[in-house]
Structure 1
Amino acid sequence: MVETKDKIGAVEAPGWKPYILGIFCNWCSYAGADGAGTARMQRPAVLRIIRVMCSGRVEPEFVFRGLKNGADGVLVSTCHPGDCHYVTGNYKTFRKAPLISKFLEQMGINPKRFRLTNVSASEGAELTEIIEDFVEELHEIGPSPFKNKKE
């Protein structure tokens, strides 16, 4: 059922690029994205990054709202385990991720539209690879079923 609902309206326009909402930890992941940009590493997708002071502050509602507002995917990026500036913030996010995926599935949204990863400040190249992999997966799924829908 999830697959059927995601395929409805998932006709790719020529040149379609997935729009990804990134919610990144300020201390590690955002710094990694900044490093990737400084090194002029290319990203194949439209990535809009929202910086949060700690990934532990990421609420499931942020993911749902991003998808509802037309993002093709949401990428939440935390510090590596044990490296959280606020000690346990990333562990809070690790515990929320399976619940977010399960809720998306129950709502008929492909849970592959949500991805959780961890990137340190020095891993700009790794972040670029993660984004490229996510883009490939989103191309397989197709555009968001919420694109261009008005309430």
Structure 2
Amino acid sequence: MSSVNVDYQIVAFCCQYCAYAAADLAGGLRLQYPPNVKIVQIPCTGKMDVLYALQAFESGADAVMVAGCMPGDCHFLEGNFNAVRRVERVKDLLRQIGLEAERIRMFHISSSMASQFVAATEEMLRTVEAIGPNPLRVSGKAHPQETCGLPSG
């Protein structure tokens, strides 16, 4: 179910030390990622609560990506491992409410991996194009201009 005219919204929760730095590096290198990716800088993906992801979907996001440090390299030791568990919990909750679990995904991206950050955003966009828009947004119940009630970084 793909539509050329749909303006898909992707919220990217990015660790300030790794994935956010990779996104910043991508910009510095003039690498382009989809403009409909809204980056939310967080201190650590371990701080990404299940509610943040659910609020993003409720606000109309079509997909959520959580991007943090490489396994074993978290500045807060186990934050990215906690994030993996939370992403799996969100997938379970999405299934329970009738949404596709593929709408959320965890990526491990170090600060020097600008091209991998771009590839991750493009992969999320392809996923959403394949499964279609968030039904909450399409039904008019959500507000796509809001990302999740958090300030963007």
* Unmatched segments (≥5 aa) in structure 2: 143-153
Query: Gapped runs of 5+ residues in structure 1?
Result: 1-9
Pick the structure with greater CA Rg.
Answer: 1
1:52 alignment partner, one of 20, 42, 54: 42
Q: CA deviation at 1:45?
A: 4.3
Question: Which residue identity lines up with residue 126 of structure 1 in the other structure?
Answer: Q
Using structure 2 for the length normalisation, give the TM-score: 0.86
One-letter code aligned to 1:61: L
Report the 3-state secondary structure (helix = DSSP H, G, I; strand = E; otherwise coil) of the residue aligned with 2:117: helix
Q: In structure 1, what residue type is equivalent to 2:57?
A: L
Q: Is the 8 A contact 1:21 1:47 kept in 2?
A: yes
Task: Detail structure 1 runs of 4+ shifted over 2 Å in the superposition.
Answer: 14-17
- The secondary structure found in structure 2 opposite 1:133 is helix
For residues 37 and 17 of structure 1, the distance between their equivalents in structure 2, rounded to whole angstroms, comes to 22
The alignment-based identity, stated in percent, is 30
Amino acid at match of 2:40: I
Q: Corresponding residue for 1:144?
A: 134
C-alpha distance in structure 2 between counterparts of 1:82 and 1:16, whole Å: 38
The 3-state SS of whatever aligns with 2:99 is coil
Render the CA deviation track for 1:31-70: whole Å, top value 9, x for unaligned.
0000011111111340111111011010111111101101
Q: How many residues align?
A: 141
SS at structure 2 position matched to 1:146: helix
Asked if 2 retains the 8 angstrom alpha-carbon contact of 1:18 and 1:45, the reply is no
- 1:30, 1:102 → 2: CA distance? 26
State the Cα distance separating 1:107 from its structure 2 match: 0.9
Code of the aligned partner of 2:51: E
Q: What is aligned with 1:61?
A: 51
Say what the alpha-carbon RMSD is for the aligned residues.
1.6
Query: Which residue of the other structure, out of 88, 107, 113, is the alignment partner of 1:98?
Result: 88
